[in-house]
Each structure stands twice: as structure tokens, then as C-alpha cells.
Amino acid sequence: MPNAKETKELILDTAERLFSEKGVDGVSLRSLTSAAGVNIAAAHYHFGSKEEVTKAVFARRIRPVNRERIQLLDTYQEHGQPSVEELLTALFAPPLRLAREPQRGYDFMRLCARFYSEPAEYLESTFREEFSQVLSRFHEAFQRALPELGEEEVGLRLHFAIGVMVHTLLNPTRTCLPRLGPKASDSDKATLDAMVRFVAAGMRSAPAAQFPAGAIAGLPAHAEVAQ
């Protein structure tokens, strides 16, 4: 018989696998506990509800990632003002390492894809709780590294940077090359270096306000963007 700690981990492991395969809505608490081989009362005892199981599954994986991000940021800041590249490395490297783990990373990345494509209202508070400190710390650090940009502009660029990261993590074998699929030279370091170089250039680019209206989208100045 597994002890309480082992039972809790078994429930989380099973939930992570089933949620990634079928989506959160496609798994009931009863089917989850049946697959885990535990009594449904055990799930109620440890978590109370499927919603709390879902939050715990996400938090279990993302908290170590966010702790590593903060540790890397602190390490860079101990040596002075980090460069944009160093800040992006601290932001990107920990989740990239998790994503490349043979089984654990694959399941979690599939789970994240489910969360992004099937967002549930109760997860919004979890996202805020898990990411608020990290985003605040990195926003402040990028603001110091890019003092010529306004606060909102830095926030928008950080949002775009996270978008590049999420797309890369959730689509590790998809590229825009003529032949889709991973390159023979693909590696954690090569992927990280390419992401950092690309996003750093965008972070340092001129503010959009310096361009004529419509110029960025290649539209005439009088054209209206469809809402």
C-alpha cells in the first residue's frame, strides 16, 4: 500500500498524463482515481476537487522552473546590470530544460498546450499566483536594461518574448524551414541561443511610435486595422 505522500504523487502523475492526453474537461475525478488505482476518497482528502488537482499538477512543475528563473536573475544581478541577452537566458533556459526531459517534459508541455487551448476560469488565478512575482521581477529588470523604453512598451515586448518561448516549447519539431522537423544540429544550446538572439533584437528595436502609421503592417497610412 502506498503511503499518503506516494498516493498524492501518484494522483498528480496520473492527472498530468491523462490531462495531457484528453484535456482537463475530458477527465473526471473518478476516471482519474480509477486510472491511478486509488480510492476517490483519497483524491478528496488530498485535493478536495478536480480543479484543485489541476492547479496542483501545474504548480508542481512550474514552481521549480520559476525558482530557477529567479535564481539565475539574482546571479546575473549580483555582477551588475544584466544585459538583455542575460535576462532572456534566465527567462528561457529553465523551461527549455524541462521541455527537453524525455518523459516528464513531454507530458508537461502537452499539458501546457491543453491549458493554453482549453483555458478554464479557475486556472486564471493559478496563472496569476504562479507568475506574478516572476513577471514583476523580469519587467523591472528589462526596464533597467532598456531605459529608453516606457513601462508599457517593455511590458508589451516581454509579452511578445514569452510568446516566442511558448511557441518554441510547445512546437519543438515544427519549423518554417522547407523541410519541417528538427534539424540534425538541433540542441538545447542552439535553440536557446537562437531564441535569445532573435528576441533580444526585438527588445532593442525602435518603439513603434517612431514609425509612420501603418508602416509596420505594410499598410497605407490611412488604412484601418480590422477589429
Average pLDDT score over the chain = 83
Mean pLDDT of 101-105: 75
Residue 81 lies in a domain: yes
Q: Which residue has the higher pLDDT, 107 or 132?
A: 132
* CA dist list (Å): 200 to 5, 13, 65, 169, 203: 43, 36, 21, 18, 5
pLDDT value for 203? 97
Residue 211 lies in a domain: no
Residue 225 clears pLDDT 80, i.e. is over it: no
Output DSSP code: residue 217: T
* CA dist list (Å): 103 to 57, 68, 106: 15, 20, 5
Residue 76 lies in a domain: yes
pLDDT classification of 8: cutoffs 50, 70, 90 = very high
- The number of domains in the chain is 1
Mean pLDDT of 119-144: 87
pLDDT value for 170? 78
Residue 33 clears pLDDT 80, i.e. is over it: yes
Calpha distance 19→95 (Å, rounded): 19
Residue 42 lies in a domain: no
pLDDT classification of 9: cutoffs 50, 70, 90 = very high
Q: pLDDT tens digits, residue range 55-84? A: 999 899 899 999 999 999 999 999 999 999
For residue 93, which of 14, 168, 185 has the smallest C-alpha distance? 168
* Of 23-37, 87-101, 136-150, highest mean pLDDT: 136-150
Residues 6+ apart with CB under 8 A from 12: 53, 56, 57, 60
Residue 218 clears pLDDT 80, i.e. is over it: no
Domain extent for 98: 51-204
| Lowest-confidence segment of 38-42, 65-69, 79-83, 113-117 by average pLDDT | 113-117
Residue 109 lies in a domain: yes
| Lowest-confidence segment of 28-42, 59-73, 106-120, 180-194 by average pLDDT | 180-194
pLDDT value for 110? 78
Residue 90 lies in a domain: yes
Residue 227 lies in a domain: no
- In CATH, what number is assigned to the domain containing residue 112? 1.10.357.10
Residue 180 lies in a domain: yes
Look at the block and give the residue holding cell 518554441.
Answer: 168
pLDDT value for 68? 96
Hey, what's the cell of 75? 546571479
What percent of the chain is modeled with pLDDT above 90? 53
pLDDT value for 86? 97
Residue 43 clears pLDDT 90, i.e. is over it: yes
Calpha distance 143→178 (Å, rounded): 38
Residue 150 clears pLDDT 80, i.e. is over it: yes
pLDDT value for 215? 47
